[in-house]
Structure 1
Amino acid sequence: MGGVVEVVIPVFAMIALGYGAAKRKLVSEEGFRGLTMFVFGLAAPALLFAGGTRPHEGGGGAAVAILSASILVFALSLLGARRVFRLNLAEAALFALACVFGNSVMMGVPIIFAAYGPPGVPPMLGILALQTMILLGMATIVTEVGLHANAPWRRVLSASLTGILKNPVVLSVIAAFIWMLFGLPVPGVVRRTLELVGAAAPGVALFCLGGGLAGISAAAAWKETTAIVGVKLLALPALTWGLALLVGATPIETAVAVTMAALPTGANAFILARRYATGTDRSGAAVVVSTAISVLTLSALIGHFRGILP
């Protein structure tokens, strides 16, 4: 239990510090925006590229399990939002995204590194690349179709793919895969520089997450929010776990896949909702509530997996 506390408590302590700094105006909104740009545009990509270009094996089983589970849950959530909550297609797409898209960079990267160390990197890299491209792509396309039913499908698809491929996190993971595929070396001075820059990512990301939560209300659309949180923190991890066992994923792949699936709703779900001015309160509330409850669910999962891993 002590090992779990050492992993989980610092993570949520950093989130709390960011939240407090925002509430007390110790860091301005512009300051948080700059720190967030630093994390997404530089520190996190450096961390992921440095980790991805180290010799490693495996990781495919984790990506297959969580991606298959996420696509299935996305489709069912989309259908449920339309029939149960009577949401239009664009609203339902963003509802479904909040059910499956976790806070992979802000929380996933620091938690996986802290809980499972270097062996957790290969499964995490595969998940980050595919999940970001496919899930954000699906949600963006369905939302665009819902808002612009008469728009040419080529324009919708092109705009969606362009936006995703401009994501620095996706680009860094793809670059790492290509680097390893061709067996290219990373000079020592370059690797050390990447590691120095990347070392800032986990702490700053969590601090910025806390700052972002300070401006979001958790009281909006409570019925839809409850459904999102239940699916995201319980149903998706359970289905991912079952699929990981079904495809014969290794213990570390299973641990990483299930932990990544159990992450709270990611800020990107809220950002996409704000971009389309659709379901913003619902997505924002899901981020806040799922982050708070994930203190318990992530602690339980990490404690279990750290107990059975060699």
Structure 2
Amino acid sequence: MTLFLHHIALCAPLFLLVFLGWGLVRARIFSNDVTKALGAFTFRLLMPTLLFKLLSNLSEMPPIDWRVLIAFFGSCAVVYLGGRAAVRRLFSTDAAGTTVLAMAGIFGNNVQLGVPIVQLSLGDAAMPTISVIILFNVLLLWTVAIASVEFGRHGRIRNPREVLAPMLRVFRNPLVVAILLGCAWSFTGLKLPDFVQKSVDLVAVATTPMCLIVVGMGLARHNFSAALPKGLFVTAVKLALQPFIVWLIARALGLGELETNAATLMAALPVAINIYLMAQDFDAEEGGASNGIFVSTLISAVTVPLTLTLLGVAP
């Protein structure tokens, strides 16, 4: 219990900032236009700067155990395929709706919530591991989603280029660019000029609180009561089933403690707001996606500290 209370206290300031952002929008202090602008600012400048800073020292950190990808994305495959079957049986959804709800069970808020939580609880040593997960998460999951919808609607993939396009567009993603540049810079052995490094440090310090507030502001756009049964199903899968399967695979592979904890914690994050964008893009299950995002974020304020406790992460 003492360890659980420690992790509650550790994570509480992070989630308090999330709910602060939610309250600011619900109180109409800031409009949706402000939310979108701050979201773009965070995504295109703040978070890439933080990732570059963290990974610019990659050559001085322990090497990445690439088996972590098997643990994380192996769980994604299991949960996604099982989720599709369960969603169709429980909710009688069409191809697009099934894809959205099943994808919600594996597509977590890895950047805006994941990076601050992992950095605070596991330290900078876990950054290379979660950066690899973030990189392949962006690369693979949207491609799988588009392919699933295409196949479900037409019984075949009619346009392979449309399915493969996200794999090429990923290299224009600011987060991916920052990860790759940070890794490349670390192996040059060079140091940034002192005045540049100080500027990068200042931006990085502002990133975590801004990201968390922006997450909360985004949540204010979603409805708690919309498609509640679907949201609860998605929440249970995302916050309980996926992290458990990641942990099982990581243990079976003999991954180290840091890699196991990092991958499991990334899997225990709430549903990403990107799932709502996916629902809009596919014109399917916007209510279920909206509810899954809101409910999973709310409940994760307890389940994330609980996951840290069960993993035995020491203070």
TM-score (norm 1): 0.91
**8 A contact 2:251–2:260 mirrored in 1:** yes
* Structure-2 residue corresponding to 1:47: 50
The separation in 2 between residues aligned to 1:69 and 1:219, in whole angstroms, is: 29
- Counterpart mapping for 1:117-196 below 5 A: 117-146=123-152, 152-180=158-186, 182-189=187-194, 190-196=196-202
The separation in 1 between residues aligned to 2:229 and 2:73, in whole angstroms, is: 26
**8 A contact 1:129–1:174 mirrored in 2:** no
Deviations 1:249-307 (A, max 9, x none): 11111111111100010111111112222111110100000111111111112234454
**8 A contact 2:147–2:157 mirrored in 1:** no
State the Cα distance separating 1:308 from its structure 2 match: 4.6
The separation in 2 between residues aligned to 1:193 and 1:62, in whole angstroms, is: 33
State the Cα distance separating 1:156 from its structure 2 match: 1.5
* Structure-2 residue corresponding to 1:81: 87
Quick one: which amino acid aligns to residue 187 of structure 1? L
State the Cα distance separating 1:160 from its structure 2 match: 2.6
Partner SS for 2:92: coil
* Structure-2 residue corresponding to 1:31: 34
The separation in 1 between residues aligned to 2:127 and 2:295, in whole angstroms, is: 28
* Structure-2 residue corresponding to 1:16: 19
Partner SS for 1:87: coil
Greater shift, 21-30 or 144-153, is seen at 144-153
* Structure-1 residue corresponding to 2:212: 206
TM-score (norm 2): 0.90
The separation in 2 between residues aligned to 1:56 and 1:148, in whole angstroms, is: 47
Partner SS for 1:200: helix
The separation in 2 between residues aligned to 1:165 and 1:96, in whole angstroms, is: 25
Partner SS for 1:58: coil
Structure 1 residues 64 and 183, CA gap change in structure 2 (3 angstroms): farther
Partner SS for 1:100: coil
Residue 231 of structure 2 is aligned to residue 222 of structure 1: no
State the Cα distance separating 1:164 from its structure 2 match: 3.1
Structure 1 residues 239 and 187, CA gap change in structure 2 (3 angstroms): same
Q: Which runs of 5+ in 2 are unaligned?
A: none
Quick one: which amino acid aligns to residue 47 of structure 1? L
**8 A contact 1:133–1:170 mirrored in 2:** no
* Structure-2 residue corresponding to 1:286: 292
The separation in 1 between residues aligned to 2:138 and 2:164, in whole angstroms, is: 16
Quick one: which amino acid aligns to residue 44 of structure 2? G
The one of 258, 268, 271 aligned to 2:264: 258
**8 A contact 1:22–1:28 mirrored in 2:** yes
Residue 98 of structure 2 is aligned to residue 95 of structure 1: no
State the Cα distance separating 1:63 from its structure 2 match: 3.0
The separation in 1 between residues aligned to 2:13 and 2:152, in whole angstroms, is: 41
The separation in 2 between residues aligned to 1:186 and 1:146, in whole angstroms, is: 50
Structure 1 residues 235 and 304, CA gap change in structure 2 (3 angstroms): closer
Structure 1 residues 188 and 231, CA gap change in structure 2 (3 angstroms): same
The separation in 1 between residues aligned to 2:311 and 2:88, in whole angstroms, is: 36
Structure 1 residues 162 and 143, CA gap change in structure 2 (3 angstroms): farther
